[in-house]
Amino acid sequence: MKTALHPSLALLFATVATLPSPVFAAQPQTYPTKPVRFVVGFPPGGAVDIVARVIGKKLGESMNVPFVVDNRPGAGSAIGAEVTAKAPPDGYTLFLTAGSIAINAGLQKHLPYDAVKDFSAVSLVASTPNVLVVQPSLPVKTVADLIKLARAKPGQLNFGSGGSGTMTHLSGELLKVMTGIQITHVAYKGAPLAVVDVMAGQIQMAIGALPGALPQIRAGQVRAIAVTTTKRSPSAPDIPSVAESGVPGYEASNWYGILAPVGTPAPVMTRLNSAIGHALHDTEIAESLRRQGLEPMPSTPDEFARYLKSEIAKWTKVIRAAGLQPE
């Protein structure tokens, strides 16, 4: 037997049926409605900054709001990571991170954030090798030459990186571990600054991401002797890899991905991941990235989350093998 609803209840149900959907359900359609801050943990001109500006421009066009790059260099990108981790989880602050976030997890004891727990993975974006460059006047044209010179002058050669705990730093430490050479690390607030000091003769060599160093390499201001991937880069096929130059098994690729503060609504994450995927499959964007030494690397949020955890485990082992003490 059906029971008739009380008139007041019938009115209530009728009213509820006409109400708009909950806010979280509407977010994929309404987000974004204002500029999105794209935090970068490195200074302008480097590979991370290049990626942020290329992808940010395309996302801005497709989502109809500006993606504003906010450079927060220092501490191997930890400053930018902290800014993002403490931002409201509403999709309006994103972090364009590099592999350095995985290294920091094993190298720094007192980080003001947790690389896994305080972020939601949005998508991987691209990967690229680092590149080892030297002063043109240095009598070094190959990795074998460098190893020979370093063994003849232990501790006398300096290599610059994008900062302690960055991928460029650990690339050098991995080379030291695998060859037994003694070269002295000099940390900079970004690899482009290290490359500038190589040009100026302040240090003998530097390791930087290939996109940021390519202009100086092409101009002959520094000499590139090897890329850090196992194979040559399609963007610079004339530069041999460290692995093929006498250090088999050496590999230290960099990667870039987008993180959001943990708690960012799932519909917003889905909207962002979809937009990033479309951007990376755009022929113009893909070619633009490849011209600058980058390979597009779209992923699902789950794939990026798993990859981040695996990178943390990998570089923690390298840090221990190198005898580096967490600070």
pLDDT digit string (tens) for 227-258?
998 889 888 899 999 999 989 999 898 899 99
pLDDT digit string, tens, across residues 278-323? 999 999 999 999 888 788 999 999 999 999 999 999 889 889 887 8
pLDDT of residue 164 exceeding 60, the answer is: yes
- pTM to 2 decimals? 0.75
- 104 and 135 assigned to the same domain: no
* 168 and 232, same domain (yes or no): yes
Q: What is the CATH number of the domain that holds 102?
A: 3.40.190.150
Residues 190 and 166 in one domain: yes
Q: How far apart are alpha carbons 285 and 55 in whole angstroms? A: 8
Provide the residue range defining the domain that includes 148.
130-245
Q: How many domains does the chain have?
A: 2
pLDDT at residue 314, as a whole number: 86
Q: What is the pLDDT of residue 6?
A: 52
